[in-house]
Amino acid sequence: MSKIARRDFINGTLVAAGASMFPFKSSSQAVIAALEPSYYPPALTGLRGSHPGSNEHAHNRAWTRQTDWGSTTDLKEEYDLVVVGGGISGLSAAYFYQQQHGRDKKVLILDNHDDFGGHAKRNEHTINGFTRISYGGSQSLVQPNHAHEIVRKLLEDIGVNLDRFKTAYDTDFFKRHNLGAVTYFNKKVFGEDKVVQHPYCNYPNYVEGLQGAKLSSEEAAQQAPLSDSGKEQLLRVLNGGLHKLKVPKEELLNYTRTHLYFDYLKDTLGVNDPGVLRMARHSGLDWGSTGTELMSIAAARSCGALGFAPVAVYDEDNPYIHHFPDGNAGVARALVKWLIPGVARGNSAEELVLAKFNYAGLDKSSNTARIRLNSTVVKVEHIDEPRNSSDVSINYINDNKSYQVHAKGVVMACYNMIIPHIVSGLPEEQSAALKLQDKSPLQYTTVGLRNWRAMKALGIGVAMSPGNMHQTVLMDFPVSMGGYEYTKTSDDPCVIQMISCPYGKFGEPRREQFREARYRMLGLQFNDYEQEIRSHLSGMFPRGLFDFDRDVASISVNRWAHGYSDGGPGDSTRIGRQPFGRITIANCDSAASSDAKTAMMMGHRAVNELG
Ligand SMILES: Cc1cc2nc3c(=O)[nH]c(=O)nc-3n(C[C@H](O)[C@H](O)[C@H](O)COP(=O)(O)OP(=O)(O)OC[C@H]3O[C@@H](n4cnc5c(N)ncnc54)[C@H](O)[C@@H]3O)c2cc1C
């Protein structure tokens, strides 16, 4: 029996002794009672991300059209603004609103999760008495030096110093420990467990400082556990490129945009080996949100899929170093601190890295900004005709009970496709457009290791794993700041990341694949994931150096059934995000983008539209 710490949730059931399912003090006014002082979701392990208990009400609303939530308690709370969704976009909307209208304006943020931040999720693992911090979703600020002035000002106001990452991120870490990009082939799919010192693709290149491949293409092809013909084909792909296409130069660009990467592999390079095709399919991981079989040659080339020369992922002014130890949760926490100054100690985002947030202080009636967690909004409605209404009612479910609050305006910063199921009276065209928006599933699993000797012995900074659920395993980013020290030696505890971009049936349209993969993901239990992680790590690491039960201290499986925004067809994203009376629409989805900077900009736009 495993000794893995998932002490808090097992498939959605809070099992800590003496704890109730919901961490509110028992009271007839449960929802306005404070959270327990011990309430601290970042330290929970097990199934995280969109954790069990967070999405059932929204799914009931969308899937079964549920409208009867029992009797509703009107809390007689009136706000200037209610924000639905406490991710970076919703938190930013609250910030912009108070910036523009005054910090005395009353704002309530409602979120269905047990933590704030949405995709920007902090994971803490306690290993051998040490707290290791990691990220369960939104990872880094991408190219922040290209950010709009509005975003830069927000970051400055909440105490994010972008220059600080130049020294906080230890660029030499991978060199010092000789860690690079490798590929793990598993026995089940490739016939033997084998690690080859080559990534066969560009994906790991986004990790700043990571060492390059240690083998030539010839050696890498030779060492891959494939048949002789498979090895030959792999080498042909590695030596391939656009020069292999018999297309006139002036037509090449158009050709690569209109022809499939997999047709190029099969027809131009003569690949039919299932192992090579599998490596190719998984070589873009989440960069296109689907397997590369749906990509054009141009798209596969731009993400450096199998056989394309490495390309720079980010420009020189924007190295991929803008990463708090908890990823963009560091930004979310800084926003929350700005909104509710008493919630934690610290004068800058850096000083908040180790701060223990007082969740019991998030929803105090004395705050001008309040955050109410575990609260799924199921109905938002203008009390009068939308154009003239100055009163919007917001119904939400908390601990299976229905509550109502009122606001002068509402920003919907939640997943956009749920909005037509929640907002009453939306124009037909807008409602239809919102229903067309989509998101791809994604999973970030964080694993607390008591030591990382096995990673070091194999020189693994990033291990592409085309045969596994988690297509890559990587060291966490080497960032030390605010008193937090990244792991120094391989004898120390650390957190490794395992990333899974689940695909659907090969060749199916992307949305079909998203749907299939999403259902499959939500259908799995923690034990299924633990089993998969056990077999992945045990197959990859040398037996003498790694013992799963001995070396793995804790696992957090952050499942994002609705992960990257994928937008909708044609003009539907723009049509969908139009203001509707006193209700406006934010979230990354409203720009069909998956970027924290855009999430902020969408919060800004939505607040401006409210006037
Ligand atoms: C695994 C992963 C990694 C990523 N990595 C990066 C990265 O490195 N850099 C980057 O810039 N971006 C990254 N992103 C993109 C990420 O989406 C954005 O950075 C940003 O965090 C999105 O913020 P948001 O507020 O728009 O949406 P979200 O974070 O999704 O927040 C929306 C919130 O609304 C809640 N909600 C939904 N419905 C309801 C309801 N009915 N009632 C109440 N609340 C509701 C949701 O549950 C969620 O908490 C990543 C995304 C994922 C999934």
pLDDT tops 80 at residue 14: no
555 Cα–ligand 1 center, Å: 21
For residues 547-574, give the mean pLDDT: 97
Which of the listed residues 302, 337, 358 is the one where a domain comes to its end?
Answer: 302
Give pLDDT tens digits for 337-361. Answer: 999 999 999 999 999 999 999 999 9
Shared domain for 208 and 256, answered yes or no, is yes
DSSP, residue by residue, 511-565:
HHHHHHHHHHHHH--HHHHHHHHHHHHHHHS-TTT--HHHHEEEEEEEEEEEEEE
- For strands 401-412 and 392-398, give the pairing: antiparallel
For residues 540-557, give the mean pLDDT: 96
90 Cα–ligand 1 center, Å: 10
Contact 114, 373 (CB under 8 A): yes
> Does residue 470 belong to any structural domain of this protein?
no
pLDDT tops 70 at residue 144: yes
Question: Given pLDDT bands bounded at 50, 70 and 90, which one contains residue 32?
Answer: very low
Contact 470, 515 (CB under 8 A): no
Shared domain for 78 and 187, answered yes or no, is no
Which of the listed residues 269, 302, 335 is the one where a domain comes to its end?
Answer: 302
Cβ(380) to ligand 1 under 6 A? Answer: no
- Phi-psi sector, 484: left (phi>0), alpha (psi -120 to 50), beta: beta
Residue 546 vs residues 186, 324, 456, 458, 550: alpha-carbon distances, Å: 16, 29, 12, 12, 8
Contact 327, 479 (CB under 8 A): no
> Does residue 157 belong to any structural domain of this protein?
no
Shared domain for 288 and 334, answered yes or no, is no
Residue 212's pLDDT is 86
Domain membership of residue 189 as a residue range: 180-302
Contacts for 9 with CB less than 8 Å, ≥ 6 apart = 15, 44, 45, 46, 47, 51, 52
Residue 563's pLDDT is 97
Residue 414 C-alpha from the chain's centroid: 15
> Does residue 164 belong to any structural domain of this protein?
no
Shared domain for 426 and 571, answered yes or no, is yes
Question: Given pLDDT bands bounded at 50, 70 and 90, which one contains residue 506?
Answer: very high
Report d(CA 429, CA 410) in Å as an integer.
Answer: 20
Shared domain for 188 and 259, answered yes or no, is yes
Shared domain for 331 and 218, answered yes or no, is no
Q: Closest ligand 1 atom, CA of 442?
A: 1
Give pLDDT tens digits for 420-456. Answer: 999 999 999 999 999 999 999 999 999 999 999 999 9
Shared domain for 298 and 331, answered yes or no, is no
Quick one: which H or E segment has residue 229?
Answer: helix 228-238
Atom 51 of ligand 1 has which residue's CA nearest to it?
A: 138
Q: How confident is the prediction for the chain on average, in pLDDT? A: 93
60 Cα–ligand 1 center, Å: 21
Contact 196, 215 (CB under 8 A): yes
485 Cα–ligand 1 center, Å: 27
Q: Closest ligand 1 atom, CA of 55?
A: 47
Cβ(486) to ligand 1 under 6 A? Answer: no
Q: Closest ligand 1 atom, CA of 61?
A: 41
Cβ(286) to ligand 1 under 6 A? Answer: no
Contacts for 610 with CB less than 8 Å, ≥ 6 apart = 81, 97, 409, 411, 579, 582, 584
> Does residue 381 belong to any structural domain of this protein?
yes
Residue 366's pLDDT is 96
> Does residue 141 belong to any structural domain of this protein?
no
Question: Given pLDDT bands bounded at 50, 70 and 90, which one contains residue 316?
Answer: confident
pLDDT tops 70 at residue 63: yes
Residue 34's pLDDT is 60
- Which two structure tokens, joined as six digits, stand for 434? 């919102």
Shared domain for 286 and 328, answered yes or no, is no
For the ranges 22-26, 64-68, 302-306, 502-506, which has the lowest average pLDDT?
A: 22-26
- Best residue among 318, 414, 587 to mutate for probing ligand 1's pocket (most ligand atoms within 8 Å of CB) is 414
409 Cα–ligand 1 center, Å: 22
pLDDT tops 50 at residue 21: no
Cβ(430) to ligand 1 under 6 A? Answer: no
Residue 149's pLDDT is 98
Shared domain for 196 and 297, answered yes or no, is yes
Share of the chain above pLDDT 90, in %: 87
Residue with tokens 């120094």: 488
For residues 329-341, give the mean pLDDT: 98
Instruction: Output the CA torsion sign for 590, 595, 598, 599.
Output: positive
CA angle centred on 144, ends 139 and 148, rounded to 5°: 125
State how many domains the chain has. Answer: 2
91 Cα–ligand 1 center, Å: 11
Residue 117's pLDDT is 98
Burial 526-561 (b: 16+ CB within 10 A, else e): beebbebbbbbbbbbbeeeebebeebbbbbbbbbbb
Shared domain for 267 and 339, answered yes or no, is no
> Does residue 391 belong to any structural domain of this protein?
yes
Shared domain for 241 and 277, answered yes or no, is yes
Q: Closest ligand 1 atom, CA of 422?
A: 41
Cβ(419) to ligand 1 under 6 A? Answer: no
Contacts for 32 with CB less than 8 Å, ≥ 6 apart = 75, 363, 365
CATH of the domain at 396: 3.50.50.60
- Best residue among 594, 595, 598, 605 to mutate for probing ligand 1's pocket (most ligand atoms within 8 Å of CB) is 594
Residue 398's pLDDT is 95
Give pLDDT tens digits for 204-223. Answer: 999 999 998 889 999 999 99
pLDDT tops 90 at residue 317: no
Which of the listed residues 249, 270, 302 is the one where a domain comes to its end?
Answer: 302
Residue with tokens 């790590």: 537
Report d(CA 258, CA 91) in Å as an integer.
Answer: 40
pLDDT tops 90 at residue 475: yes
Give pLDDT tens digits for 177-202. Answer: 999 999 999 999 999 999 999 999 99
Cβ(136) to ligand 1 under 6 A? Answer: no
Atom 35 of ligand 1 has which residue's CA nearest to it?
A: 85
Cβ(420) to ligand 1 under 6 A? Answer: no
3-state DSSP call for residue 598?
Answer: helix
Question: Given pLDDT bands bounded at 50, 70 and 90, which one contains residue 30?
Answer: very low
For residues 584-596, give the mean pLDDT: 97
Shared domain for 102 and 202, answered yes or no, is no
Report d(CA 102, CA 99) in Å as an integer.
Answer: 6
Question: Given pLDDT bands bounded at 50, 70 and 90, which one contains residue 312?
Answer: confident
> Does residue 20 belong to any structural domain of this protein?
no
Q: Closest ligand 1 atom, CA of 396?
A: 42
State residue 417 phi and psi, 5-degree precision.
-75, -10
Residue 155 C-alpha from the chain's centroid: 20
Contact 501, 219 (CB under 8 A): no
Contacts for 50 with CB less than 8 Å, ≥ 6 apart = 113, 559, 560, 561, 562
> Does residue 413 belong to any structural domain of this protein?
yes
Report d(CA 605, CA 289) in Å as an integer.
Answer: 27
Cβ(601) to ligand 1 under 6 A? Answer: no
3-state DSSP call for residue 320?
Answer: coil
pLDDT tops 90 at residue 1: no
Cβ(590) to ligand 1 under 6 A? Answer: no
- Which two structure tokens, joined as six digits, stand for 535? 């077999």
How many other C-beta atoms can be found within 10 angstroms of the C-beta atom of residue 342? 11
Residue 18's pLDDT is 30
Residue 571's pLDDT is 98
